[in-house]
Structure formats: structure tokens, C-alpha cells
Structure 1
């Protein structure tokens, strides 16, 4: 989850600005880097799943997802939401609108930390997508990202993760250099951006390199980096400067639910070293 937030914060400065980059030598720490809808909705989804963790009735979970997403959406009303989703956040009784945008994949990472097997991870990923992004591609994108995170948590190799994603979801995972050359990464649909995010993880040599590779791909950089880094945080140690930089961009309405999510992950004995560092930062602030 902190990987998703780091990717969002660092990628926010470059969204829509990178086209056919010549190198990965990007400035990662800018005064203009912010938490966008990716972070806000990631935390909203995680809090909703914590609130309903023992609940079996899908409709009740969906109602809680809507409640938490709208609650944080009201606190952060101008956070780069898509037009349709922005309207959805303000509706009294919002309905799914058949979206295949990457919003379902960007917010799903907590699912892979909270559930115990691949079947449940896919089940709850679909539930989190279904409240708004109920198009088959929107659901597929959420399941693909959540599955990749879960498989990484189970110590599967990158080759095994790649094979599963290609066979289960029928994504074509092109080399990032080919994506850049073909300029095929300009859009916000799941079918365009989610394969790119997964490929950025597969190509990266460490956490920072995954982040830089996601930025290098261009296009919707905050969301691509969010998704790529949500997988990478399982595989790699996150540099302290990146972790603390993203943490500094969060305020109390985001930190409180983040702690609630981490407390449940801790109860399940799943905090890795990266999340332990975040938990320590939260405790130091008495949050």
C-alpha cells in the first residue's frame, strides 16, 4: 500500500508530461508532488474492507465501499478524479457506470494484503471494482493488479507472475521500450495502462528502478507508478527517503485510516519491513 502511495505522489508531477523520454533520470522529489485520487481511493477502499472484514454479504461490503469513497472524496474534492467518477462521488445513491478506466486497479492494493488466498483476492478485487468500474475490463484490471501483488507476497518469481497474468487475464506485456517507441501508452483505460504497470514492475531491478521505469513509460504516470509500485513494495526494500517523502504529503484524514488498515494487516502477521516503517511513523505521531 505504501508503494501505491509513493508511486502516486512521485508520479503526480509528471502526469501527462512525459512523451518518449530519453532516460530514466527524473527528479523524484519536487515541491509540486501531491497525493491524488489514487492515494485517496486506495485508503478509502482499505478502510471499507477493514470495516466489513467479517462480513459475507457482498451488498453490505459494496455499501461500505461507497460510503468510505464518498467520505474521503468530500474531504478531497479536487484530486484529479475523472469526470464520471467525480460525479459518482457526489451522487446520493451512486450506481456503477460501466467504466473500464484504471481507477479500479489503482485503488485495489489493500485486497492483496488482507485476504488469504488467490481466490479471495480475486473475489474482493472484483467487489471493490464493481461499485463503479463494473465493465469487464475494469474488473479484470483490478483483479490483475491484486493478483500480482498477492503472488509477489507468496514469493513467486517474476516469470511465474508474468505467466499467470498473461494466461489468466490475456494481457500482452510488451517491453517498456517498445511501449514508448510505439507511443501506445496514452490513455487511462485499464487495458492500456495496467499491462504497462505490471511490465514496469517486471523490468525493474529494485523499488526505485520500478518507479523510474513506470515514469519512463509516460502517459498517466501517477496511476501507472501507483500500480507498479504497489507490486514492487512486496519484492523490494523501499528507500527511506522515498517512503518519508510520500508520507510527508499525507495529512491526518489519510493517516488515520491508513493506520487502521495497517493494524489489521499487523493482526494477520503480514506487515513486511516497508509497512513496519510506515507503522512506526504513524505511532511516532501518536496517530
Structure 2
């Protein structure tokens, strides 16, 4: 879902061959925004969530029709095609034999919600058939949903490509370099979905996949939406890109994204996995408050070191601000942070808290309860303890990092950070 919406947003300024067919472009520009691709992706997802995983064909088709028409009324100028625009207003809407790529760009939720590829394809077919009942329109939706299903279930690129060629007979043998010179704006499934899948297959990560799609030109928002939906399932999406996505869509759309994540268990699963073990830090800090001795202090250092060595993560709030408090931020999980801008002045940066003396500190939470003790920015990302400590160590704008600043907190100034990293190095040398 995030992948489809991000692809739509990033690709939107270059639609109708308005780009230079290059991968070298600013990821977010003043002219980018969500279009009908995102609106209908959200509409289909909400409908599928509402009817549940065991709904039959009639239930799904009725829910998808009602939801797409409802969302279309709320976003009447999102950029719909002529036939679909009339369909949105029809009191008794009927499929109109389309083989356009709209069936594939809106189907991503179907790739995530079901436990078998057979059921995934069945539901994808039904979401397409309410408008795009041409065999090519249905095939495009099924192929896209199948790629998402396979990717999220651990299939390799080779396995995904082989399945698409065997089941849908798309030509995936052309490279992007071979496609790019002759590709133009076209809105059919048969001339969009294979190219979108190829853009994914040649990619190194999520961002590279979207750049691949946009570089082909043509219907770039839809092309990148399809590619992005598959790439998300295979690569995942950096937290900073998810935050950019949420900042660029409306609250009601974010509400559906939250509901979707809850249904597929993504929020709870990721939090359980990434924050598991942080209770060691919490217990050590609590013990330090009780005893206030050197041994308790060393225990906190030891537990933080242990979490670093086990890739432990915490929650860090971010804000959208003017200026460049952290101009050299270059952390792998926050990749492309310096380029993700609304314009050249606005960017996401880590929030800070001020001590009584006015000195700024970065901060990180070990669990959700800690983050609710006082109001914080609503963009919260999971990042490794190692990385926020590295930022705190090397940035002269802050004194260091505070763990759980609104409860039993632990201040990690630059000297303490160096002690933690020294302890980590010694442990690694000891294991070697």
C-alpha cells in the first residue's frame, strides 16, 4: 500500500513523458502529489478490509463499487480517465470492457490480505472486473497481486519472474535499457504491467525500483505505483519514506493505512520484533534510580551495549521543519534524508528535548508507553540504538541522547556514548 502510493506521488510530476527518462531526479518536488492511483488503492483496500477475508464474489464486487464511488466523490479531481469518471457517477455502474492499467494500480491490498495465491488471484480478478472486465485488464490485476503475494512470502526475483512468464505470458526478457528509448505514454495493462515488473526485477532496493519505473517515461505515476507495490513487498520501505508518504496524503487515507497495517499484523509484529529486549534497558535504568551507584551505572551501559550488538531498536520522533539542523544526516535506515524535501527548505529531522540549561538532546523511547507520557510529533520511526547514538556523538548541535526522557530517563552524553561503543568493541574482540 505505501509502495503504490509512494510510486504514484513520486511519479506524478513526470506523467505524459514530462521527464528526461533518467533515474537521476529529485525524489520529491513541489509538483508531486497523490492522484487517482492512490485514491482508488485506498478505496479497494478499505472495501476488502470491511468485507473480511472470506467474502464471496458478490460481496467483494459490491463493496469495491460502493467504496470507489464514495472515494471518487470525495476526490472528484484526482485525474480519472474519461470512462472511469463517468462510471464513478453512474447510479448503476457496469463494467465497460477496459484493459487500462487502472485495474493493476489499485490492486495492491489483494496481494497482502490472503493466505494463498489462488485466493489472491481470485480477489484481484473481482476487484478488476467491476470496471476492467477485458481479459487483459483482469490479467494485469492478477499479475500484480501475484507478484506482491510471492514477494511478501519470500520468493526470489527469479521465482517471481518465472511465475509471471508462465502464468500470464508477459515478456520479461527485455531490459530497461532496451525498453526505455521506445517507451511512450500508454495506459493499457499489457504495455504497463510487464514494464513495471521489469523495473522491480532490475532494482537493488525500493527507491531504485521506483526510479527505474519513472525513468521509462510514459504513464509514470501508474507505472511507479505498480512497481512500488511489488517492491514494498520484496524490499520493504525505509521509515523516512513511509513518513513522507503519510505527510503527503490526507488524514482519512492515513486512517485506512493504519487499519490495513493492523489487519495484516504489521504494526504489532514489527514492534514486537524490533523492541523485544528493551526491557533490559528499562530495568537497568530503574535499578540505577534505586541504587545510584557505580555498579548500577555500568549495568545500564552494559544493557545498551547488548541491545546495540543485537541490532536493538527504539522509537524516535521526527518533525517537518525549515532549516538544516542536521544537514549531514546520512544513516542507512534514514536513507536519502537530505533529498526528501517539499522544497529546498523543508525536511524531516529528529525531534529534540531541551534540558533545564537549554541544551538540546536527541531522544529515543524503548516502548510505546514511554512515548505517550508527553505529547510528541506524530511521525515516529523505529531506528537502531547504534545509529541514534552515532548521530548524537558526531553532531555538535546536541549534547547527546536521552533514553525515555519523560519517565525514568538516562542521559547518554558524548563521553558515555564513547564508553558504550568501547564496550561493544571489547565484547566483539572477546567473541572473536
TM-score by length of 1: 0.90
**What are the residue-to-residue correspondences of 1:1-287 with 2, within 5 Å?**
1-18=1-18, 21=21, 23-173=22-172, 174-181=174-181, 183-266=182-265, 285=378
Query: SS where residue 14 of structure 2 aligns?
Result: coil
Q: Indicate if the aligned counterparts of 1:113 and 1:270 stay in contact, CA closer than 8 A.
A: no
Q: Could you tell me how far 1:180 is from its partner in structure 2?
A: 1.1
Q: Indicate if the aligned counterparts of 2:183 and 2:218 stay in contact, CA closer than 8 A.
A: no
Q: Indicate if the aligned counterparts of 1:179 and 1:185 stay in contact, CA closer than 8 A.
A: no
| Residues 270, 136 of structure 1: alpha-carbon distance in 2 compared, 3 angstrom cutoff | farther
CA deviations 1:33-92 (Å, max 9, x no partner) are 111111110110010001111553311221111111111101100011111001111111
Q: Indicate if the aligned counterparts of 1:10 and 1:34 stay in contact, CA closer than 8 A.
A: yes
Cα distance in 2, alignment partners of residues 74 and 250 from structure 1: 17
Q: How many equivalent residue pairs?
A: 278
Q: Indicate if the aligned counterparts of 1:185 and 1:193 stay in contact, CA closer than 8 A.
A: no
Q: Could you tell me how far 1:117 is from its partner in structure 2?
A: 0.5
Q: Could you tell me how far 1:270 is from its partner in structure 2?
A: 7.2
Cα distance in 2, alignment partners of residues 117 and 88 from structure 1: 31
| Residues 106, 46 of structure 1: alpha-carbon distance in 2 compared, 3 angstrom cutoff | same
Of 76-85 and 229-238, more deviation after overlay is shown by: 229-238
Cα distance in 1, alignment partners of residues 209 and 228 from structure 2: 7
Q: Indicate if the aligned counterparts of 1:19 and 1:180 stay in contact, CA closer than 8 A.
A: no
Q: Indicate if the aligned counterparts of 1:152 and 1:235 stay in contact, CA closer than 8 A.
A: yes
Q: Indicate if the aligned counterparts of 1:210 and 1:232 stay in contact, CA closer than 8 A.
A: yes
Cα distance in 2, alignment partners of residues 267 and 232 from structure 1: 16
Q: Indicate if the aligned counterparts of 2:101 and 2:193 stay in contact, CA closer than 8 A.
A: yes
Query: SS where residue 112 of structure 2 aligns?
Result: helix
TM-score by length of 2: 0.61
Of 258-267 and 223-232, more deviation after overlay is shown by: 258-267
Cα distance in 1, alignment partners of residues 28 and 61 from structure 2: 36
5+ residue gaps, structure 1, are 274-279
| Residues 178, 168 of structure 1: alpha-carbon distance in 2 compared, 3 angstrom cutoff | same
Cα distance in 2, alignment partners of residues 43 and 270 from structure 1: 22
Q: Could you tell me how far 1:187 is from its partner in structure 2?
A: 0.4
Q: Could you tell me how far 1:225 is from its partner in structure 2?
A: 0.5
CA deviations 1:156-177 (Å, max 9, x no partner) are 1101110110110000122111
Cα distance in 1, alignment partners of residues 12 and 183 from structure 2: 20
Query: SS where residue 13 of structure 1 aligns?
Result: helix
Aligned to 2:292: none
Question: Of the two structures, which has the highest relative contact order with CA contacts closer than 8 Å and spacing of 6 or more?
Answer: 1
Cα distance in 1, alignment partners of residues 245 and 138 from structure 2: 28
Cα distance in 2, alignment partners of residues 47 and 175 from structure 1: 36
What's the RMSD between the two structures over aligned residues?
2.4
Q: Indicate if the aligned counterparts of 2:262 and 2:268 stay in contact, CA closer than 8 A.
A: no
| Residues 78, 243 of structure 1: alpha-carbon distance in 2 compared, 3 angstrom cutoff | same
Q: Could you tell me how far 1:18 is from its partner in structure 2?
A: 4.4
Cα distance in 2, alignment partners of residues 117 and 42 from structure 1: 21
Larger radius of gyration: 2
5+ residue gaps, structure 2, are 274-316, 319-371, 380-432
